[in-house]
């Protein structure tokens, strides 16, 4: 009888705890200045919806952007208790944690360790130095790069002026301000 009763209690306890164990999908990306963590509000191990106020990054930083299928945490690398380690001359490792504190008090909190590395070298940036500093070679990706403002999505002043005049004719308030 005791074995049967303890087995029933064990099964009941497992049934209560099991729905609380969540597989939370987390994606992390980073640069030398920012860490961005995206979390899916739908847990993959159950049909449970995760609310934005149940999650926080590092030392208590809340969600910064709520989208339909993701919660984003976007913070500078020196905020939220994010730790920085120098891996090599060109690479930094950022470490933090995502905390899941469910509203359901029967469920346990979860701590998800996160890591992301960022390189100081970028194929998209041209090195800038003064004459006293060591100059590095240009990346082969940008050595022959010549762009026009239109290719970069920039408007010339004359184009901007014509847009403003057209909007004024239509009576639309302009969001573009010339300084």
Per-residue confidence (pLDDT) for residue 153, from 0 to 100: 47
Q: Let me know if residue 7 belongs to a domain.
A: no
| Cβ 102 vs Cβ 20: under 8 Å | yes
Backbone angles phi, psi at 99, to 5 degrees: -110, 130
- Domain of residue 45, CATH code: 2.60.40.3210
Rounded (10°) CA dihedral 158, 164, 167, 168: -120
Which structural domain range is residue 60 located in? 22-119
Q: Residue ranges of the chain with pLDDT lower than 70?
A: 1-22, 43-46, 122-179
pLDDT, tens digit, 9 for 90 and up, residues 63-107: 999 988 899 999 998 998 999 999 888 888 999 999 988 888 777
CA-CA distance, 58 to 82, in Å (whole number)? 7
R_g of the chain computed on alpha carbons: 26
Per-residue confidence (pLDDT) for residue 73, from 0 to 100: 92
Q: Let me know if residue 105 belongs to a domain.
A: yes
């Amino acid at each position: 009888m005791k074995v049967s009763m303890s087995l029933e209690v064990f099964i009941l306890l497992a049934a209560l705890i099991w729905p609380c164990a969540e597989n939370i999908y987390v994606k992390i990306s980073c640069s030398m200045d920012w860490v961005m963590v995206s979390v899916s509000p739908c847990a993959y191990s159950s049909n449970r919806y995760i609310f934005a106020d149940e999650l926080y990054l590092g030392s208590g930083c809340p969600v910064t952007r709520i989208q339909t299928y993701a919660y984003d945490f976007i913070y500078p690398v020196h905020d939220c208790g994010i730790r920085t380690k120098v891996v090599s001359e060109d690479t930094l490792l950022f470490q933090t944690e995502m905390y899941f504190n469910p509203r359901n008090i029967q469920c346990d909190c979860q701590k998800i360790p996160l890591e992301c590395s960022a390189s100081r070298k970028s194929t998209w940036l041209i090195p800038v130095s003064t004459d006293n500093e060591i100059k590095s070679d240009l990346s082969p990706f940008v050595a022959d790069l010549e762009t026009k403002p239109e290719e970069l999505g920039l408007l010339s002043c004359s184009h901007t002026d014509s847009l403003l005049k057209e909007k004024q004719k239509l009576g639309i308030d302009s969001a573009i301000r010339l300084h």
